[in-house]
């Protein structure tokens, strides 16, 4: 019986122990990862800034393919298809995902944390970032969930472009008023977390005004378009290179990349989106606007810097010469003939015999580049140099020179695509061109020319800061000389008398290279060849039936199709977002601000 008592005691003890010990269950806190409520504002901001830039860069490179600044080797990747105006859904995703997942998810928590400590400047930054993200989505996709986005509803409905546009303008206004405020005592200073402007609130304010000017100017097809309001904003926007928002990237070894793609966090977002890739090429049209200026006898000093070079020749390194890349003529049948093709290199001291014994037999000299295959039409594709850059950080290379096996240059890359290339978030140059466009359209050529010239100069000067820092590395990676600059500005860009909208918009295009805004501008002017002279739709589009399913003949590339995540996981809402949301020809449907009123 004693034993029985013992057992009963034991049983009751266990029951008692466990029922009392509710806290035994209080372990549902992830010991490995902190929760969303604890992140300090200064740790949120650099994260948001980087991923937002990445979204813009991804959209920017894709826009450059659409607007025929860039092209791609011929294959079936989304970039190549976009270049040929036969786009596929895969091109939509990256800007969307980087904005919503890497930026959007944080906004509410970020604002809450900033508000709690009265860190108004962080609140201002949050509003700027929110507006920049959603505005990109409107430009890119036309419609997107906005009022229900980033909230409780997990199948948010889409809003129309106008609603989102107005929301973004409201956010920008609010951002400006936050930047006007003094932070509460003890609040984290903006400098603690700002990787763009080092906490310079004035620059942020100018960034906000500049964005508002950019966006309101995108309403040029709308009845509410108000040029004078924009001019007033320009006064408060960046008024010099020093007050522009420029992000200075660095090429250093990084232990870990971003959470979505694993791409570098300090290197230029344009390097990640273009510079890493061997397959991008400059088009002939872009080469033309950089060389066929108002006075073709006076070279635009930027051409050497914005078009890649490579070393050609054979044998020893001394025999090799730098040549500037040719642009790929998108009005030719090159891409219908499988081009351009990426060159190969004979990295040996002996002659390489290709296709020996066949009619296509070829001898390749030692240490020279060549195009493999048997299609003789392609053998000259070595002239098209890739925009690829090497990288210390990402490729663990000794420097950023992309080289063949013998150390000769396989491509110098371009100003915009190197890992330490600056990102121009909001520049004085852009503001000048907005001003020039407005005054020109008002008929005031004098003020227009003044702004136009200031814009070109601002862009050149801004580039030259970085180029000077490089020193003389190669023809592309070296400073522009003061005399070339002066000569170009005085003799190469025309006069107030012969100013045309074409000059303004192509110079703006150059200054805004790889910015998504270039596509906005081109859409605003309906790809008008009077405004973008020499511009043509790609030839392959005209001879590819499937491309014309997407962009019917006579229409233009006006937006991208909704992302397949929305097709799959928010299908009903996508369907009602636009009458043609699911149709092949959605690509040719203008977004809200692009519809003429």
385-424 binders of another protein (CB under 8 A): 394-396
Which residues between 428 and 447 bind another protein (CB under 8 A)?
A: none
Q: Are strands 423-426 and 245-247 parallel, antiparallel or unpaired?
A: antiparallel
Distance between CA atoms of residues 386 and 352, nearest Å: 23
- Establish if 147 lies at the interface with another protein (CB under 8 A): no
User: Which of 169, 365, 496, 582 is the binder for another protein (CB under 8 A)?
Assistant: 582
Tell me the closest approach of the beta carbon of residue 100 to another protein, in angstroms: 4
Distance between CA atoms of residues 567 and 586, nearest Å: 13
- Please write down the HEC assignment for all residues of 101-167: HHHHHHHHHHHHHHHHCCCHHHHHHHHHHHHHHHHHHHHHHCCECCCCCCCCCCCCCCECHHHHHHH
| DSSP, res 146 | -
If the CB atoms of residues 46 and 534 are measured against another protein, the closer one turns out to be 46
If the CB atoms of residues 277 and 517 are measured against another protein, the closer one turns out to be 277
- Please write down the HEC assignment for all residues of 174-192: HHHHHHHCCCCCCCCCHHH
User: Which of 149, 211, 213, 310 is the binder for another protein (CB under 8 A)?
Assistant: 149
If the CB atoms of residues 384 and 439 are measured against another protein, the closer one turns out to be 384
How many residues interact with another protein (rule CB under 8 A)?
Answer: 113
Q: CB–CB of 465/529 below 8 Å?
A: no
User: Which of 2, 5, 27, 358 is the binder for another protein (CB under 8 A)?
Assistant: 27
Distance between CA atoms of residues 244 and 242, nearest Å: 6
The C-alpha angle with vertex 309 and arms to 308 and 310, in degrees rounded to 5, equals: 130
Tell me the closest approach of the beta carbon of residue 376 to another protein, in angstroms: 12
If the CB atoms of residues 381 and 484 are measured against another protein, the closer one turns out to be 381
User: Which of 375, 474, 478, 487 is the binder for another protein (CB under 8 A)?
Assistant: 375
From 49-57, 445-453, 454-462, 515-523, give the range in contact with another protein by CB under 8 A: 49-57
If the CB atoms of residues 164 and 493 are measured against another protein, the closer one turns out to be 164
- Establish if 359 lies at the interface with another protein (CB under 8 A): no
Query: What is the maximal distance between C-alpha atoms in the chain?
Result: 116
| DSSP assignment string, 223-255 | TT--HHHHHHHHHHS--SGGGSEEE-------S
Tokens 């694993």 -> residue: 262
| DSSP, res 474 | S
- Establish if 174 lies at the interface with another protein (CB under 8 A): no
If the CB atoms of residues 192 and 473 are measured against another protein, the closer one turns out to be 192
| 3-class secondary structure, 562 | coil
Distance between CA atoms of residues 288 and 307, nearest Å: 11
- Establish if 327 lies at the interface with another protein (CB under 8 A): no
Tell me the closest approach of the beta carbon of residue 41 to another protein, in angstroms: 11
Nearest to 534 by CA among 287, 280, 282, 218: 287
Which residues between 303 and 322 bind another protein (CB under 8 A)?
A: none
Tell me the closest approach of the beta carbon of residue 483 to another protein, in angstroms: 35
Which residues between 524 and 543 bind another protein (CB under 8 A)?
A: 542-543
From 232-240, 316-324, 367-375, 515-523, give the range in contact with another protein by CB under 8 A: 367-375
Assess whether the previous peptide bond of 446 is cis (omega < 30° from 0): no
205: which residues sit within 8 A by CB, 6+ positions away? 176, 179, 180, 236
- Establish if 372 lies at the interface with another protein (CB under 8 A): yes
Tell me the closest approach of the beta carbon of residue 470 to another protein, in angstroms: 19
Site string for another protein, 204-223 (x = CB under 8 A): --------------------
Tokens 């800034």 -> residue: 49
279-to-149, 274, 334, 515 alpha-carbon distances in Å:
36, 9, 15, 19
- Establish if 228 lies at the interface with another protein (CB under 8 A): no
- Establish if 48 lies at the interface with another protein (CB under 8 A): yes
Tell me the closest approach of the beta carbon of residue 456 to another protein, in angstroms: 28
The two three-digit tokens of residue 109, written as one number: 């928590």
- Establish if 276 lies at the interface with another protein (CB under 8 A): yes
- Establish if 11 lies at the interface with another protein (CB under 8 A): yes
User: Which of 32, 318, 358, 359 is the binder for another protein (CB under 8 A)?
Assistant: 32
Nearest to 49 by CA among 190, 196, 202: 196
Tell me the closest approach of the beta carbon of residue 461 to another protein, in angstroms: 23
- Establish if 338 lies at the interface with another protein (CB under 8 A): yes
The two three-digit tokens of residue 532, written as one number: 């973008």
- Establish if 189 lies at the interface with another protein (CB under 8 A): no
User: Which of 70, 341, 480, 493 is the binder for another protein (CB under 8 A)?
Assistant: 341
Distance between CA atoms of residues 275 and 277, nearest Å: 5
Tell me the closest approach of the beta carbon of residue 240 to another protein, in angstroms: 22
User: Which of 169, 298, 336, 403 is the binder for another protein (CB under 8 A)?
Assistant: 336
User: Which of 97, 218, 387, 416 is the binder for another protein (CB under 8 A)?
Assistant: 97
If the CB atoms of residues 40 and 118 are measured against another protein, the closer one turns out to be 40
Nearest to 204 by CA among 131, 138, 140, 270: 131
From 122-130, 431-439, 461-469, 580-588, give the range in contact with another protein by CB under 8 A: 580-588
Tell me the closest approach of the beta carbon of residue 401 to another protein, in angstroms: 16
Q: CB–CB of 62/82 below 8 Å?
A: yes
| DSSP, res 315 | S
| 3-class secondary structure, 393 | coil
């Amino acid at each position: 019986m004693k034993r029985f008592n013992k057992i009963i005691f034991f049983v009751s003890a266990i029951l008692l122990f466990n029922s009392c010990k509710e806290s035994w269950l209080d372990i549902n806190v992830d010991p490995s990862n902190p929760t969303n409520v604890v992140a300090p504002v200064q740790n949120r901001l650099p994260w948001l800034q980087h991923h937002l830039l990445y979204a813009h860069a991804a959209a920017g490179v894709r826009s450059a393919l659409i607007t025929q600044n860039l092209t791609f080797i011929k294959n079936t990747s989304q970039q190549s298809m976009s270049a040929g105006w036969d786009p596929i859904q895969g091109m939509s995703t990256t800007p969307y995902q980087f904005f919503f997942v890497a930026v959007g998810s944080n906004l509410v928590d970020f604002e809450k944390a900033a508000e709690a400590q009265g860190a108004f400047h962080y609140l201002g930054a949050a509003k700027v970032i929110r507006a920049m993200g959603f505005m990109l989505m409107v430009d890119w996709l036309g419609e997107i969930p906005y009022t229900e986005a980033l909230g409780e509803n997990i199948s948010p409905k889409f809003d129309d472009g106008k609603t989102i546009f107005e929301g973004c303008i409201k956010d920008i206004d609010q951002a400006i008023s936050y930047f006007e405020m003094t932070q509460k005592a003890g609040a984290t200073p903006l400098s603690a977390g700002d990787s763009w402007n080092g906490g310079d609130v004035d620059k942020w304010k100018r960034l906000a005004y500049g964005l508002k000017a950019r966006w309101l100017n995108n309403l040029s097809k709308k009845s509410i378009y108000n040029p004078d309001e924009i001019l007033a904003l320009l006064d408060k926007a960046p008024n010099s290179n020093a007050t522009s928002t420029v992000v200075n990237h660095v090429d250093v070894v990084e232990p870990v990349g971003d959470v979505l793609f694993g791409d570098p966090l300090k290197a230029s977002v344009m390097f990640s989106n273009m510079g890493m890739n061997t397959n991008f090429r400059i088009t002939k049209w872009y080469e033309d606007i950089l060389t066929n200026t108002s006075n073709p006898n006076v070279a635009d000093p930027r051409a050497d810097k914005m078009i890649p070079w490579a070393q050609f020749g054979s044998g020893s390194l001394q025999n090799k010469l730098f040549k500037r890349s040719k642009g790929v003529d998108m009005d030719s049948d090159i891409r219908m003939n499988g081009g351009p093709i990426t060159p190969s290199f004979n990295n040996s001291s002996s002659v390489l015999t290709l296709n020996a014994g066949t009619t296509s037999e070829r001898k390749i000299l030692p240490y020279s580049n060549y195009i493999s295959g048997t299609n003789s039409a392609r053998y000259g594709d070595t002239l098209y140099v890739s925009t690829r850059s090497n990288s210390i950080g990402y490729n663990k290379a000794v420097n950023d020179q992309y080289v063949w096996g013998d150390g000769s240059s396989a491509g110098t890359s371009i100003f915009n695509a190197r890992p330490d290339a600056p990102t121009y978030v909001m520049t004085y140059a852009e503001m000048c061109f907005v001003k020039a466009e407005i005054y020109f359209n008002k008929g005031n050529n004098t003020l227009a020319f003044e702004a136009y010239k200031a814009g070109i100069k601002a862009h050149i000067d801004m580039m030259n800061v970085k180029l000077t820092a490089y020193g003389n590395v190669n023809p592309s990676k070296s400073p522009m000389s003061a005399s070339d600059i002066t000569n170009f500005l005085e003799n190469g860009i025309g006069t107030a008398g012969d100013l045309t909208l074409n000059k303004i918009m192509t110079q703006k295009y150059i200054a805004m290279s790889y910015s998504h805004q270039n596509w906005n501008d081109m859409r605003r002017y309906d790809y008008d060849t009077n405004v973008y002279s020499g511009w043509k739709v790609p030839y392959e589009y005209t001879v590819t039936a499937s491309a014309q399913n997407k962009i019917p003949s006579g229409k233009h590339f006006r937006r991208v199709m909704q992302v397949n995540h929305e097709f799959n996981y928010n299908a009903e809402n996508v369907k009602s977002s636009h009458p043609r949301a699911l149709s092949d020809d959605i690509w040719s449907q203008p977004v809200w601000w692009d519809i003429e009123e």
